[in-house]
Structure 1
Amino acid sequence: MSTAAFLLLYLMISASSVHAQRRIAFISIDCGAPSKLYEDPDTNITYSPDDNFIDTGISQNISSEYMYPNNPNLPLPASDLRSFPHGNKNCYTLKPEAGKGSLNLIRASFLYGNYDGKDQLPEFDLYLDVNFWSVVTFGNASDIVIKEIFGFAQSDVINVCLLNKGLGTPFISALELRPLNSSNYGTAFGTNASLVLFQRLDIGSSNGTGRYAEDVYDRVWSNYISPYWDSVSTSSPITTDEDGYRVPYEVIKTAARPRNGSEPLELYWNTTDSNAQFYVYMYFSEVEHLEKNQSRKLNISWNGAPLFEQFVPRYLYADILSNSKSLVGKEHQISISKAENSTLPPILNAVEIYQVMQLVESPTSSEDVDAIMNVKTTYQIKKTWAGDPCAPKNFSWEGLKCNYTISVPRIISLNLTSSNLSGIIAASISKLSSLESLDLSNNNLTGPVPAFLEELKSLKTLNLKGNQLSGFVPNALKKRSDAGLLVLRYTFSSQTEKTFFLFMQ
């Protein structure tokens, strides 16, 4: 075997190994699917059922009229779904392999398909952890709605939450996580913002599949060619691995140029929000072999203002240009024109456009999260406790009240009355250090009233009646009650209720 042939084989094996490792880190969930793994014949991606990622909701199938063979192009993960008729917030918990601080692509897919027989299109909100991601709406029952976001993991887990706002039952068909290179898709906001996909276009292509095995990030590309543009392409190899964006060959091998060589290539988009902020990532590669007397030099502007310095695409090498500051406003026009000293018209191979979503809400104090999760596990609480305990605001867990006037939300009230609790009072409750009210009444709790409740210095109300508790109330609690600082209700095992203080001071 020649040295060149061996090197080519080595590079092919190395690329295949890197891609295989990337796919191992993929999380691909067919929501509502039966409890078995399967390989999607369209993508060769292995999907898993969702029972390891969520413990609420109901598994259902779309109506037969939207199923195969009536819908021959139906993606396999879209044939079933998980709906959430109970609770106003239901969340999937994902664990990215790289953990806290990692950058991940998260994609959620929705096909209503009249699964509930009501023929009523719902509308609900989608959140990434505690911050708004998107509104999910449908044009008709056969619409497959796809939402995609790039976000940094704020902890070792990522919560994808569906919020019921009274306009129909939330549901989801598929959920996917793909690890990204954290040095890519940078913005001026660093880790304090997410990027919501606005558009991702494979320019000049009219017959691409949109999803390619060689794309290590499993991005979905939409074919686009304007009637005023001509498509150009190459069958020669293109170097795409000089940066971390790794645009797939099937995307970068095609480009578009204006049919009128003196005209620019122009991209338009608009939004209703005058404060909307966007980042644009444009991919270029010269796919035509230029003669010595030919040149292709580009001027790129946004809304008439220069966006980059003059740029020359490299022959059979992929390059990417992106704005260093966000593009702000309702109306956006990017123009790619030939420079005065260029003999050839402009080209563009691909483009990604993202809208900035700043992280405006803070998650609950990690101390409180750890404590309340321990309470949930200890008592096997059956309430719809999903995602962050306090956030987003107005969507705290049932039975919890939180203080939002400080930088990090804290749990100040825990009401677990009549929740079928049994065993002793969990020690983790003492870690809810901002707790002002604790109601554990009418359960089957046993053992003594623990002394660690004295550690809750902000506690003003403690209701323990209706349990099988024994012994005496700790002195510190009794003294606070006598001093008018604590309302304390407690039933001895003899069922004689004692109320030590009947009004708040």
Structure 2
Amino acid sequence: MANLVLILVNLIALPALLVFVVIINPSSHADAVFVSIDCGFTGSSTYKDENSIVWTGDEAYIHSKHESQVFNEYYSSNTPVDWTSTVRVFPTLKKNCYTIPIGKSGERLLVRASFRYWDFYDNPNYSATSPGPTFELQFDGNYWTTVVTKPYDIVSHEAIYVAKANTTSICVAQTKDNQLPFISALELRSLDFKMYSHVDSNYALLLANRHTDGTNQTVRYPDDAYDRIWVPANGFIVTENVKGEARSIDTSSAQDNPPEAVLQNAVETIGTLWSLVLDTSGLPQSQDQKVRIYMTTYFSEVIRPLNSSTGKRSLQVLVDGNPYSGTIVPPFGSVSTVYITNITAYSDTNFTIESTFQSKLPPLINAYELYTITGPLTQATTSTKDVEGLAALQREFEILQKWSGDPCLPSSFAWEWVECTNTTIHATPRVTSLKLSGFGLFGPLPDFSSMDGLQKIDFHNNSLDGPIPDFLGSLPNLNLL
């Protein structure tokens, strides 16, 4: 039985917002996160999909909801609720963010963001061949990817990273005029911290491919407790699918915790002279754009221990024809894993599984995952002093509450009314300027004296009242008010 934890979080970055988060624990630690957000779903209740995953609406996680627009493709009350038919579109602000409580900093997360585009605005020039919007996707102040959408296609992007705080922020940002960012679904899953730890936690993993072999069935939750989606592999030649004979498979030796379901079948070639070629289509197509990759390959024998006349199966992993692994003898009832990292690759890089000369049986593979590795993640968020001061301003002036996410990061998508220091990935950004002219602010100024990096403050063309706060005269770097 999964543990059920109810957390009440008061988000500093989201003033006056209390968020209740249902955290279902499929993992080994009590505060594991398993959150599924239907972006644009405005129902007051949750709903459960065909995989027994509970989905909730998104209004509790976003402050710019009144600045965004919600569209539902289907209007019939008989149509089952489904995240693919709803969407939230953001026509204002450079950056719009979802802030999701995760219980504690240092959590290793799998985050999946999904987008399904159709003609939200009933454009008379729209056609099924019209390109969809292109925009940027970000997490915790870092660039994630550029989202390119097409009508009615589902585009999903998945990242694995270690969160720096007890919340994580997922943002969409406009990069092209008249192309509005939108989002359909967000899914967050905690991972055991040992998983994917062959890659330094200062980097993120971005999914290229995740395949289960020897079957035509997709595997995900509940068969995979972490809800990774394993898609049947296609494109193998001179191969056949083999159903496993083991009643259970011990996966405890595999650090990335593959689900038993993806090891119960395999694909093998029709003879020892043939190789299995793995799918690299999710990698860059140009050799000039090679990226660092992380690949995990899983091998489990599918037939009972072989007699001496048949001989054992043995195989090897090769990269561009060069041996990468030693000899692998797939075990029956358990799993052998080969981790490929610290190399660069592109879509024409050749990852193959071949029989050794001693093997009497052809090579096989049960499943594999392929990720690209990002550059170094920013190691600092905007100064706590500045976040506290900005939160005070947001609590006092409701119009400012639609801004969320990191105020300064990424640097090209800072909040419209702040300026920040230029920083490296290791330096803490400081807010140096407040640009609040003509925002329609009224009432007294709150105490934002913690923002001791401020150099400029512009409040003209507002309706402020009350005395000028004494702390303004003691800000050490202020030179323009």
Class of the TM-score when normalised by the shorter of the 2 chains:
0.7 to 0.9
Q: Are positions 1:377 and 2:381 aligned together?
A: no
Q: Are positions 1:100 and 2:105 aligned together?
A: yes
User: SS at 1:447's partner residue?
Assistant: coil
Aligned residue type for 1:301: L
Whether the 8 Å CA contact 1:131–1:359 is kept in 2: the answer is no
Q: C-alpha separation between the residues in 2 aligned to 1:413 and 1:20?
A: 42
Q: C-alpha separation between the residues in 1 aligned to 2:219 and 2:279?
A: 21
Q: Encode CA deviations 1:439-486: one digit per residue, 9 max, x unaligned.
A: 122333333222212331111111xxxxxxxxxxxxxxxxxxxxxxxx
Gaps of 5+ in 1: 1-12, 463-505
Cα offset, 1:255, TM superposition = 0.5
1:364 matched residue in structure 2: 382
1:483 matched residue in structure 2: none
Cα offset, 1:218, TM superposition = 0.4
User: SS at 1:386's partner residue?
Assistant: coil
Among residues 349, 363, 374, which one is paired with 1:346 in the alignment? 363
Kindly report which structure 2 residues correspond to 1:278-289, keeping only aligned pairs within 5 A, or say none: 278-289=293-304
Q: Are positions 1:221 and 2:256 aligned together?
A: no
Among residues 170, 174, 199, which one is paired with 1:160 in the alignment? 170
Whether the 8 Å CA contact 2:393–2:446 is kept in 1: the answer is yes
Cα offset, 1:341, TM superposition = 1.7
Q: C-alpha separation between the residues in 1 aligned to 2:252 and 2:3?
A: 15
Of residues 283-292 and 79-88 in structure 1, the stretch that sits farther from structure 2 once superposed is: 283-292
1:115 matched residue in structure 2: 120
2:471 matched residue in structure 1: 452
Among residues 414, 417, 434, which one is paired with 2:437 in the alignment? 417
1:261 matched residue in structure 2: 272
User: SS at 2:399's partner residue?
Assistant: coil
Of all paired residues, the percent bearing the same amino acid is 29
Q: C-alpha separation between the residues in 1 aligned to 2:377 and 2:185?
A: 27
Q: Are positions 1:76 and 2:85 aligned together?
A: no
Among residues 33, 55, 61, which one is paired with 2:63 in the alignment? 55
Structure 1 length-normalised TM: 0.81
Q: C-alpha separation between the residues in 1 aligned to 2:264 and 2:475?
A: 65
2:149 matched residue in structure 1: 138
User: SS at 1:381's partner residue?
Assistant: helix
Cα offset, 1:329, TM superposition = 5.1
What RMSD over aligned residues (CA atoms) do the two structures have, in Å?
2.5
Q: C-alpha separation between the residues in 2 aligned to 1:191 and 1:85?
A: 34
2:461 matched residue in structure 1: 442
Cα offset, 1:138, TM superposition = 2.3
User: SS at 2:415's partner residue?
Assistant: coil
Whether the 8 Å CA contact 1:364–1:388 is kept in 2: the answer is yes
2:181 matched residue in structure 1: 170
Aligned residue type for 2:232: N
Cα offset, 1:405, TM superposition = 4.9
Of residues 380-389 and 153-162 in structure 1, the stretch that sits farther from structure 2 once superposed is: 380-389
Q: C-alpha separation between the residues in 2 aligned to 1:101 and 1:209?
A: 30
**RCO higher in 1 or 2 (8 Å CA, sep ≥ 6)?**
2
2:315 matched residue in structure 1: 298
Whether the 8 Å CA contact 1:60–1:115 is kept in 2: the answer is no
Q: Are positions 1:276 and 2:291 aligned together?
A: yes
Aligned residue type for 1:335: T
Q: C-alpha separation between the residues in 1 aligned to 2:345 and 2:385?
A: 38
Whether the 8 Å CA contact 1:40–1:76 is kept in 2: the answer is no
Q: Encode CA deviations 1:258-316: one digit per residue, 9 max, x unaligned.
A: 12332121225251353411100111111111323221111111122322221111101
Structure 2 CA distance for partners of 1:378 and 1:68, relative to 1, 3 Å: closer
Whether the 8 Å CA contact 2:74–2:85 is kept in 1: the answer is no
Whether the 8 Å CA contact 2:437–2:461 is kept in 1: the answer is yes
Cα offset, 1:84, TM superposition = 0.3
Structure 2 CA distance for partners of 1:375 and 1:77, relative to 1, 3 Å: same
Q: C-alpha separation between the residues in 2 aligned to 1:211 and 1:329?
A: 27
Structure 2 CA distance for partners of 1:221 and 1:68, relative to 1, 3 Å: farther
Q: Are positions 1:194 and 2:209 aligned together?
A: no
1:32 matched residue in structure 2: 40
User: SS at 2:146's partner residue?
Assistant: strand
Gaps of 5+ in 2: 5-22
Q: Encode CA deviations 1:160-179: one digit per residue, 9 max, x unaligned.
A: 00010125111111101000
Aligned residue type for 1:259: I
User: SS at 1:337's partner residue?
Assistant: strand
Q: C-alpha separation between the residues in 2 aligned to 1:382 and 1:348?
A: 54
Structure 2 CA distance for partners of 1:360 and 1:317, relative to 1, 3 Å: closer
Whether the 8 Å CA contact 1:77–1:174 is kept in 2: the answer is yes
Which has the larger helix fraction? 1
2:26 matched residue in structure 1: 22
Cα offset, 1:17, TM superposition = 6.3
Whether the 8 Å CA contact 2:289–2:346 is kept in 1: the answer is yes
Structure 2 length-normalised TM: 0.85
Structure 2 CA distance for partners of 1:234 and 1:274, relative to 1, 3 Å: same
Of residues 308-317 and 359-368 in structure 1, the stretch that sits farther from structure 2 once superposed is: 359-368
Q: C-alpha separation between the residues in 1 aligned to 2:74 and 2:119?
A: 9
Aligned residue type for 2:194: S
Whether the 8 Å CA contact 1:106–1:150 is kept in 2: the answer is yes
Aligned residue type for 1:78: T
User: SS at 1:94's partner residue?
Assistant: strand
